[in-house]
Amino acid sequence: MTSTTLDLISLQQRTVRVLVAGQILGGLGIGATLSIGSVLAAEVSGSEAWAGSAATLSTLGAAAVAIPLGRLTRRYGRRVSLSTGTAIALGGAIVTVIAAALDFFPLMLLGFAMLGSGAAVGLQSRFAATDVADPRHRGRDLSIVVWSATVGSVVGPNLFGPGEVIATWLRMPPLTGSFVIAVVAQLAAVFVYAFALKPDPYLVSQSIVAEAETAAEPTSNGGPGTDVAQSASNETPGPAGFLRNRNLVMITIGILGLSHATMISVMSMTPVHLVHHGTSLAGVGLTLSLHIAGMFALSPLFGWLSDKYGRYRVIVAGQAMFAIALVTVAFGEQSMTWVTVGLIFLGLGWSASTVSASALLGDLVTGAARPIIQGRSDLVMNLAGALGGAAAGPALALVGYPGLAISAGVLVLVVLVAVSLVGLPTSRARVA
């Protein structure tokens, strides 16, 4: 093993540690937005009809900055991109606090949208974990960064108590104290990305790709057992790097978007369904907590499985978990226990599908094309989530909770058909 290899191993280990730290800090702001933000929106707007605006504007904000952050990465590297995105989220937390103090709802909507940049940073962090990763361990390293989001997602919604103490001490509106915590956490995350993410993993990967592509013509990874073996004829060379099979890249992005829409559509309407059936708020909170645990807690396992057994196989396994989830909630809609079981499988399906498809996207794109394609992927994911959440409400009203589950099943079927057409003949991703 050469010293260069040893240096890359050390750089990758350091990169993953920095990304995990940034994810934990940044996740506090996201958790506060999704939970306390809805309460704050209803209070300042004076109507519960606006309670969902926090999640909606945050999602749209994440979509809006996805491609610009990708372009920043392409030009300046991950360090500038991630720190800039986190700084925007930091500004959003400050704007939200000011809007609450002024009791000015339009300004609060702007704050929620800016906070969405933190979610975009979280999505791009998972790709940053693959820049200099050993191709055999891309899924594992990516999944570790995804897993670290668990901390912020779990702690963020529980900041109300400490936040109330802080708000009282600072003589601020009670609900804004949690966002003060988010301000401090986001500021720390900015410093972590700006000063600890050195050398920049993306810039290092660029130099490695340039050297490799100068030394030899790109060849197919060929042979049975490779997920991208059949894509060589569609490689697009040039200074932007290599895009292995454009159609496959588009399908992979579609898998990410449809999987996200499936999860969001059912998850977003579950609290409404449970409350209408007499479930206590504590019961709803438990169901959502277990769902979040399903989304993140086992992501390292799915990353390892995708490295060992292939991206497509784990994507299919994820869709199978979606199917189990949808059948369970459709037939067990009257039981909180069965709905909770369904939501756990819904989270597991999202985790398996997202981790594996994200790793596959990292396999398929190299060089300067990578951050742009990844930005487009994040844009599609966020827009699909927003559309899924928006469509879920009318679907629940028209066809009920079981009908909503069946409707989401159509998205699962589309993904399975797509994978059967492009992925089943192959099994293993092995890309240099």
Which tens digits make up the pLDDT trace of 36-52? 676 677 778 877 667 66
d(C-alpha 230, C-alpha 197), whole Å = 36
d(C-alpha 80, C-alpha 65), whole Å = 14
Higher pLDDT, 82 or 163: 82
pLDDT class of 212 with cuts at 50, 70, 90: low
Whether 272 shows a pLDDT value over 70: the answer reads yes
172 residue type, one letter: M
pLDDT tens digits for 349-384? Answer: 999 999 999 999 888 887 777 788 888 998 999 889
Mean pLDDT of 29-42: 66
Vertex 246 angle, CA 119 and 85, to 5° = 20
Q: What is 3-203's CATH topology?
A: Growth Hormone; Chain: A; (1.20.1250)
Q: Which CATH number fits domain 218-422: 1.20.1250.20, 3.40.50.10900, 3.40.50.720, 3.30.360.10?
A: 1.20.1250.20
Smallest CA-to-CA distance from 35 within 201, 123, 184, 161 is with: 161
Higher pLDDT, 26 or 348: 348
d(C-alpha 342, C-alpha 336), whole Å = 10
Helix or strand holding residue 125 (H, E): helix 105-128
Q: CA separation (Å) from 324 to 235, 331, 334, 335?
A: 37, 11, 17, 16
Vertex 317 angle, CA 316 and 320, to 5° = 90
| Two tokens, residue 87 | 């700084």
Q: Do the beta carbons of residue 388 and residue 260 sit within 8 Å? A: yes
**Side-chain-facing half-sphere of 324: CA atoms under 13 Å:** 17
pLDDT class of 4 with cuts at 50, 70, 90: low
Instruction: Supply the DSSP symbol for 233.
Output: G
pLDDT tens digits for 301-357? Answer: 999 999 999 999 999 999 999 999 999 999 998 888 999 999 999 999 999 999 999
Dihedrals φ, ψ of 130, to 5°?
Answer: -105, -5
Mean pLDDT of 212-232: 47
What integer pLDDT is reported at residue 5 of this predicted model?
A: 53
d(C-alpha 416, C-alpha 400), whole Å = 25
Residue ranges, comma separated, of all CATH 1.20.1250.20 domains in the chain are: 3-203, 218-422
* pTM, 2 dp: 0.76
Smallest CA-to-CA distance from 205 within 145, 130, 126 is with: 130
Whether 58 shows a pLDDT value over 70: the answer reads yes
